[in-house]
Structure 1
Amino acid sequence: MTLTLKKSSSDSQKNLSIKKKKIRLFIAGIGAVGGTLTKLIQELNHDLYDLRIIGVCNSSFTKWNPDVDAFLEDRKLSQGEPTDWNVIPDQLINQSDGNLVFVDATGSEVVAHQYQHLLTHGVHIATPSKRA
C-alpha cells in the first residue's frame, strides 16, 4: 500500500491519496462455497484493496482471466481449458508477485497436494477444506 501526501495551493489543506493494494486470486472449486466467494469478491468495493480474480476452475475446466459477471450468470467453464494440476501451479507461480492467493474450495486431496509447491514459491493459500 502506498500513502501519498500532496501539498495543495493552500498550506493549511492537504490531500490524502491512497493507492489500493492489488491482490489477485485463483479460485479452485466453484460450487456453493467457491461460487458464493466469487460473487462476494465481485461485489466488494474495499478502500484499501483491489481484489482481482485471475482464474477459476472446477474438476474439469479452468478459465484464466474470466469475465466474472458473465461467469456468475452461468458458472460454465466449458469454454476454458481442461483442468490440469500438473500445469496450474506453475502458471500461478509464474504470475506470483507476493500478492497472489490460491483459494481451494474443492475438498480435493489432489488440490491439497499442491499447497507446499505453491507456498514455497510465495503463493498464499486460503481454504475452507477439511482435507487440507
Structure 2
Amino acid sequence: MALLSSFTRSGRRLLLAAPLLLAGCGHALPDIPGFAAPAWRADRYACAGRRAALLPPLLAARPRLYEARANDVTALLGPPDEEELLANTEKAYHYYLVPGPQCGPRRPHTAGPRLRILFGPLGTVTEVQADPVPLP
C-alpha cells in the first residue's frame, strides 16, 4: 500500500509538471525583416490583394518559422483563413494569397493560392508551403 501511495504522489507530480514541460516546446517568433505583419493581418482572406506582395520576406525567413508555436504564428499572421485538422493531432493553417471566391458571401473554400503552415503533434511548425502566385 505504501508503494502505491508513493507511486500515486509521483504520478500526480508528473501530471502537474507535464503542461510546464510542453509549454517549453517551440520558440517565440522574432521580427521578420521586411515583413509587414500588420498589413498581412489586415488583409483577411487576401480580399484587399496585398498578401502576395508581402509573401517574399516571409518565405525568405521560413527557417525562423520552424518550431514556432501555433499561438506565435497566430500573433504574427492573424487567425488563419482556414484551419485543417489532420491525423495524429496535427493541424494546418491556410492563408489565402490573392483575392478570389473566398471574398464573396459565406467565404466559400477555394483552390486559390495559399500559404500553408503545418503543425506537428506538439503544436509547433513543421512545414511551411506556399502555392505559386499568378503574375499580374
Q: Please indicate the TM-score interval, normalised by the length of the shorter structure.
A: under 0.3
Q: Could you say which structure has the higher helix fraction?
A: 2
Q: Could you say which structure has the higher strand fraction?
A: 1
TM-score (norm 2): 0.26
TM-score (norm 1): 0.26
Q: Answer with 1 or 2: which has the greater Rg.
A: 2
